[in-house]
């Protein structure tokens, strides 16, 4: 495990200038509106919450949908309130 | 219901969701007692062999999902590993490889790294780079700025690292360093340069990597104690469904 970690660490450090090239990030991600970067995080949190509460894959899938709707709904309400406040000012 | 692979075990210590703890003995008490810690699946009531929970928790911290793989829960292990590591690497990529670093300097204490470190060994290079840059060599490993903390105004670095930065970083010029043989002294604020260069992606990348680390804490708990079980609301819904005469598939009690 130590050897694997060392090899991985060395490879990533050596490749870092190409792996994390910032102009590429700017080109690809710069066109996406910032709010959409929150969607993968909602999906990730829902998936992890669901998977840590269940063991059966079917139950995990169902709970993921429930968590996504709940989290997305709550954040959507907050976003709508913020937009409304901004619009009223 | 315990699976057949556990038939030879004399004693079960079941750690169930919440503060309930059940101990059951299965015959052959004259033989040496073997204990195995199991959790009860909230979905079908089957036993989940946690093997060595402490080791599983440490493995899950080191590599997300590795503890579950060690316990034989391969689907969940693979799921956790893919989800957490993908998010962490995506955040690192969005932040140009600069958002994960360990720094405890006054004025630039990187508290976000406390959360990022929850993702395990993938955050380890940040500790190594910080130690090397602040160590006697005054330069990070392989002169790579990957996961190295930003240079503060007045910070001393090796001449080799200063030359490397001047060559490869478009925001750093050779005259950004005072010549202080045998070292060089940086005269600007590199963190401000990063913010200017990356814009919103510095914060987005930081958020992704922090969330990956924090969610891994749930994964570690899952490896240590098994699944948390359904929420109270879901329990009520299940009970209502099982009490209803039209319920097609009642859920076994956990």
Task: State how far the Cα of A83 lies from the Cα of A74, in Å rounded to an integer.
Answer: 14
Average pLDDT of B234-251? 65
Q: What is the DSSP string of A28-89?
A: HHTTS-GGGGGHHHHHHHHHHHHHHH--SHHHHHHHHHHHHHHHHHHHHHHHHHHHHHHHH-
How far away is chain B from the Cα of A76, in angstroms, using its nearest Cα?
A: 19
Average pLDDT of B162-190? 90
Does B218 sit within 8 Å of A49, measured CB to CB?
A: yes
Q: Please, which pLDDT band fits residue B236 given cuts at 50, 70 and 90?
A: confident
Q: Which pLDDT score, from 0 to 100, does residue B245 have?
A: 57
Does B141 sit within 8 Å of A13, measured CB to CB?
A: yes
Task: State how far the Cα of B162 lies from the Cα of B150, in Å rounded to an integer.
Answer: 12
pLDDT greater than 70 at residue B246: no
Does A10 sit within 8 Å of B142, measured CB to CB?
A: yes
Beta carbons within 8 Å of A89's beta carbon, 6+ residues apart: none
Q: By C-alpha distance, which of B175, B250, B226 is closest to B73?
A: B226
pLDDT digits (tens, 9 = 90+) for B143-154: 888 899 999 999
A45 lies in the same domain as A62? yes
Average pLDDT of B2-21? 42
A15 lies in the same domain as A47? no
Q: Which residue has the higher pLDDT, B114 or B146?
A: B114
Q: Which residues in B lie closer than 8 A to residue A5 (C-beta atoms)?
A: 121, 124
- List the beta bridge partners of residue B21: B15
A16 lies in the same domain as A47? no
Q: Which pLDDT score, from 0 to 100, does residue B12 have?
A: 38
Q: Which pLDDT score, from 0 to 100, does residue B62 have?
A: 96
Q: Which pLDDT score, from 0 to 100, does residue B111 have?
A: 94
Q: By C-alpha distance, which of B15, B13, B198, B67 is closest to A24?
A: B198
Cβ burial of A43 (10 Å; 0-12, 13-18, 19+) is middle
CB of A53 within 8 Å of any CB in chain B?
yes
Q: Please, which pLDDT band fits residue B44 given cuts at 50, 70 and 90?
A: confident
In the block, tokens 């750093």 appear at B172
- Mean pLDDT, rounded, of chain B: 83
Q: By C-alpha distance, which of B134, B171, B140 is closest to B156?
A: B134
Domain that holds residue A2: 1-31
How far away is chain A from the Cα of B1, in angstroms, using its nearest Cα?
A: 15
A27 lies in the same domain as A42? no
Q: Please, which pLDDT band fits residue B125 given cuts at 50, 70 and 90?
A: very high
pLDDT greater than 80 at residue B195: yes
A12 lies in the same domain as A1? yes
Q: Which pLDDT score, from 0 to 100, does residue B33 have?
A: 56
Q: By C-alpha distance, which of B36, B31, B32, B33 is closest to B3?
A: B36
pLDDT greater than 90 at residue B130: yes
Q: Which residues of chain A have pLDDT under 50?
A: none
A45 lies in the same domain as A19? no
**In total, how many domains does chain A have?**
2
A72 lies in the same domain as A40? yes
Helix (H) or strand (E) holding B125: helix B124-134
Q: By C-alpha distance, which of B118, B56, B109, B130 is closest to B87?
A: B118
B182 upstream amide cis, omega within 30 of 0: yes
Point out the residue among B41, B201, B208 whose CB comes nearest to the CB of A41.
B208
List the single residue in B with minimal CA-CA distance to A52.
B227
Q: Which pLDDT score, from 0 to 100, does residue B165 have?
A: 92
Q: Which residues in B lie closer than 8 A to residue A13 (C-beta atoms)?
A: 125, 141-142, 144, 146
List the single residue in B with minimal CA-CA distance to A46.
B215
A7 lies in the same domain as A49? no
A60 lies in the same domain as A72? yes
In this prediction, the answer to ipTM > 0.90 reads no
């Amino acid at each position: 495990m130590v050897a694997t970690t060392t090899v991985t660490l060395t490879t990533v450090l050596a490749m870092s200038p190409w792996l994390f090239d910032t102009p590429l990030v700017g080109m690809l991600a710069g066109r996406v509106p910032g709010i959409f970067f929150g969607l993968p995080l909602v999906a990730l949190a829902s998936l992890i919450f669901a998977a840590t509460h269940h063991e059966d894959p079917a139950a995990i899938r169902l709970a993921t949908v429930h968590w996504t709707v709940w989290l997305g709904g709550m954040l959507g309400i907050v976003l709508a309130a913020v937009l409304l406040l901004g619009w009223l000012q | 219901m315990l699976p057949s692979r556990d038939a030879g075990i004399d004693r079960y210590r079941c750690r169930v969701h919440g503060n309930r703890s059940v101990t059951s003995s299965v015959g052959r008490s004259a033989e040496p007692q073997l204990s195995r810690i199991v959790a009860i699946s909230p979905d079908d009531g089957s036993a989940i062999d946690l093997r060595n929970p402490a080791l599983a928790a440490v493995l899950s911290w080191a590599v997300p999902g590795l503890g579950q793989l060690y316990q034989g829960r391969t689907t969940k292990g693979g799921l956790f590993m893919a989800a957490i590591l993908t998010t962490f690497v995506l955040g690192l990529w969005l932040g140009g490889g600069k958002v994960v670093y360990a720094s405890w300097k006054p004025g630039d204490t990187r508290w976000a790294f406390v959360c990022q470190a929850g993702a395990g060994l993938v955050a380890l290079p940040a500790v190594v780079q910080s130690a090397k840059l602040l160590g006697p060599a005054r330069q990070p490993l392989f002169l790579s700025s990957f996961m190295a903390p930003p240079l503060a105004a007045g910070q001393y670095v090796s001449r080799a690292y200063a030359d490397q930065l001047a060559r490869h970083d478009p925001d750093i010029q050779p005259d950004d360093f005072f010549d202080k043989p045998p070292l060089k002294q940086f005269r600007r604020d590199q963190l401000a340069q990063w913010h200017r260069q990356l814009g919103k992606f510095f914060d987005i990348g930081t958020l992704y990597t922090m969330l990956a680390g924090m969610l891994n804490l749930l994964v570690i708990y899952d490896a240590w104690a098994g699944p948390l079980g359904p929420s109270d609301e879901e329990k009520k819904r299940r009970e209502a469904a099982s009490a209803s005469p039209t319920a097609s598939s009642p859920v076994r009690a956990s």
